[in-house]
Structure 1
Amino acid sequence: MAAAEYFEEVASCVTDPIERVREVSLRSVDYWLSRPEQFDFLFAMAGKKTDIADDDEMRFGESPVVMRALNVYYHAVDALFDALPEPPLPNRLAGDTLIAAIYGVVLVPRTTPTKRWSDTCMMVELTVDAIIDNWVSGRGRDGHIRRSLSMKRKPR
């Protein structure tokens, strides 16, 4: 997969863990914005009937090629958290949040063309910087995130 190779190359060129997370995030968005048809095919499947795999089948989002690309993010987050005195939240939660946030910022303007959105790259940059600032400041420690989220959730 060309995307995974590109993301791996970006990650390998940056030694600072904060900058690695930032560059992987921003350059991946640049990559997909320059390939809008591929992005739409992979990420804008809302409203389309998809073949959902049974429990014993592999889902596309868990396939080796997709996991190779996602692991670039997960490894970048792992390296950043290793450099902090204490991880602010579980690494996988942080990685999933980062991925969902940046691709959501790209997806919403692409799938809602009836609104004039601000520059997508600037919105992604603000999102990534806010997430990294939150992690580095340690605001997620001591269960703060879990407490604030659980207070807002409706009982199931």
Structure 2
Amino acid sequence: MSNFTVRKAKKEDMVHIMKKIIELAAFEGYPEGPKITASDLERDGFESDCPYFFCIVVEQDETNKIVGYALGNYAYSSWTGRAMYLEDFYVDPELRGLRLGHKLFKEMCKMARDTGCHRIDWHCLVDNNLATKFYESHGAFDVCKAESRTCYRITNDEILNIANL
């Protein structure tokens, strides 16, 4: 069996991360969803004085192939203070069941602990039962159900319309 290492992503990993982002989008049924490029990831995560995201990867030791990743950013909660938002969490489908997701999730929780974050938030597709089971096995709960909340978003067109009023 292969050995795997979980580590912080490097700038040169972003080409591979972009491929994984596209794989995740296709898995979720949105193959045309991602609008960014590997260059955007390099710029925003590694060429900025204040990086816009963090990324950790699971790498297969023998091949140095990235087989999973978690990408997120730091946030702030008026209730708990420092927080993290997890944008993507993905392990190659053929390697699921090897506890690589657990290793990746554990490393993310260590990052949260080490940076003083008191919570991690994320979204999950309602019909992704495998992910729901995984997250709940790690103590996660559905905020929409538990706190009677819903989730909203505005995109660039609305942002520009409102900003230009």
Q: Of Structure 1 and Structure 2, which has the larger fraction of its residues in helix? A: 1
What TM-score do you get using the length of structure 2 for normalisation? 0.25
Q: Which has the higher contact order (CA 8 A, sep 6+)?
A: 1
Q: Of Structure 1 and Structure 2, which has the larger fraction of its residues in strand? A: 2
What TM-score do you get using the length of structure 1 for normalisation? 0.26
